[in-house]
Amino acid sequence: DEENERENHKSRTSLPVPMFSRNDFSIWSVLKNCIGKELSKITMPVIFNEPLSFLQRMCEYMEYAKLIRLASEQEDPVERMKYIAGFAVSALGSNWERLGKPFNPLLGETFELQRSEYRVVCEQVSHHPPVSAFHADSPSFLFHGSIHPKLKFWGKSVEIQPKGIVTLELPKWGEAYTWSNVNCCVHNIIVGKLWMEQYGTMEVVNHTTGHKAILTFKPAGWASKDLHRVEGFITDKNKKKLHFLYGKWTEFIKCTDIDSYEEYMKENAHKFRKGDEKVKSPNDSPAHTPRKVFSKLNSLKMSSFKSLSIQDSEDIPEPPEGEIPKCDSTYSIDIPHSVTVWEAEQRPPNTAEYYQFTLFAMSLNEIEPGMEPPKTLCPTDSRLRPDIRKLEAGDIDGAAAEKTRLEEKQRESRKLRKNKKGDEWTPRWFRLGTNPYTHQEDWLYSGGYWDRNYTDLDIF
């Protein structure tokens, strides 16, 4: 019956109240005090927050989970890879224009999400450094991983490296796929309008068959020709190219066979600048010009930029200072025999008033029927965080006060633990282990969350 109630529930399509305008606030006035700090140590006025915890934000990876089911329904591993690669890109689609900072999860905070095709549990397993772990299961797949977002200040922009691996398992085929996320850069933190890009190489590996999808997220570049663009190939275990994938992480991913791709490139060679068909990006360098940044820093006399590192990277030109690049629609390519693997859902019409949320994001902090405590919801669930709830309701001062209270409570319990020596905090639902496919350190689900035996948990 409870299952039915959940299935029949229609998710909300807006938040309780529209957001406050951020126009009167300067991000830089806050961030200049945060140079060199870890993401979890940056405390910004709640006006720069969005009413979601990072755990909830992480669950946005799941919005297009139907692509995983589609993958598992394919008989051919190459076809499966098409959909898995599509899913990996789709997971980043909701980041477009989302420039509010999600709340730092408290240590031991959890978030669960149950949808018709899957369920997810997340936990904040470490506070310094901040690490969030997630584990999703469904009849057709397992999807799990952890994210440790690392921050780097580059003068007028901030680069976020989401460290960690994600693993997708398709039990039906005895297959495991892994990949890691690309970097993200928020520009114009000093002056101008904020904008964001994601760039770098994402390598989706099928550990069972050796197939790979190697996708390059391009930096916007000069004149923004490449804004949001993603391209890459599906290869077999001998590195032979089989398919070409292309699109924009904000909009769609298409796929065509390698012959159609090559023919198209021959016929349209004149359209592409020399070297453009090369999909490899210059050694993953961030979309910055370090030297320029350096001189800019000198001129601003800010010698306190701790994490600034001058690298020998190839210079990638940036869009003109302070401007937001616009998409060049004339540069959309459509190669014969392409199929659309993924297309982003339209944002709701009220999105600009609601933190640029997608419909999926709107639903994340909703207390659904049957969830109200003490019924099912775990007492550490992000939905029960009073600060996020208050921001959602438009009570900025209340949210700020609650945020401070929670952070103090968290510090207090850490102190208590320190005094009781040997009483180290351990995550409730995850444990540190080794990823069996990549052999890297990883957070693995210990199980038991869905038994709903929640005692002795008080973090709010």
Q: Residue 142: exposed, middle, or buried by beta-carbon count in 10 A (0-12, 13-18, 19+)?
A: middle
Structure tokens at 151: 């921050």
> Of 42 and 78, which CB lies nearer to ligand CLR in the complex structure?
42
Q: How far is the CB of 91 from ligand CLR (least distance, A)?
A: 7
> Of 265 and 396, which CB lies nearer to ligand CLR in the complex structure?
396
Q: What's the CA gap between 233 and 396, in Å, rounded?
A: 47
Q: How far is the CB of 162 from ligand CLR (least distance, A)?
A: 4
> Of 160 and 258, which CB lies nearer to ligand CLR in the complex structure?
160
First to last CA, the chain: 30
Q: How far is the CB of 169 from ligand CLR (least distance, A)?
A: 19
Q: How far is the CB of 166 from ligand CLR (least distance, A)?
A: 9
Render the burial of 39-60: b for 16+ CB within 10 Å, e for the rest.
Answer: bbebeeebbbbbbbbbbbbbbb
Q: How far is the CB of 158 from ligand CLR (least distance, A)?
A: 5
Written as one string, the DSSP assignment of 59-98 is GGGGGGTHHHHHHHT-SSHHHHHHHHHHHHHHTTGGGTT-
Q: Which spans of this chain sit near ligand CLR (rule: CB under 6 A)?
A: 27, 31, 48, 57, 92, 95, 99, 101-102, 147, 149, 158, 160, 162, 181, 184, 186, 189, 194
Q: Is the dihedral of CA 256, 258, 262, 267 positive or negative?
A: negative
> Of 182 and 371, which CB lies nearer to ligand CLR in the complex structure?
182
> Of 186 and 391, which CB lies nearer to ligand CLR in the complex structure?
186
> Of 187 and 254, which CB lies nearer to ligand CLR in the complex structure?
187
- Cβ-contact 341, 243 below 8 angstroms: no
Q: Residue 326: exposed, middle, or buried by beta-carbon count in 10 A (0-12, 13-18, 19+)?
A: exposed
Q: How far is the CB of 160 from ligand CLR (least distance, A)?
A: 5
Strand partners of residue 198: 184
Element holding 426 (H helix, E strand): none
CA 395 to chain centre: 27
Q: How far is the CB of 210 from ligand CLR (least distance, A)?
A: 25
Q: What's the CA gap between 97 and 170, in Å, rounded?
A: 32
> Of 214 and 335, which CB lies nearer to ligand CLR in the complex structure?
214
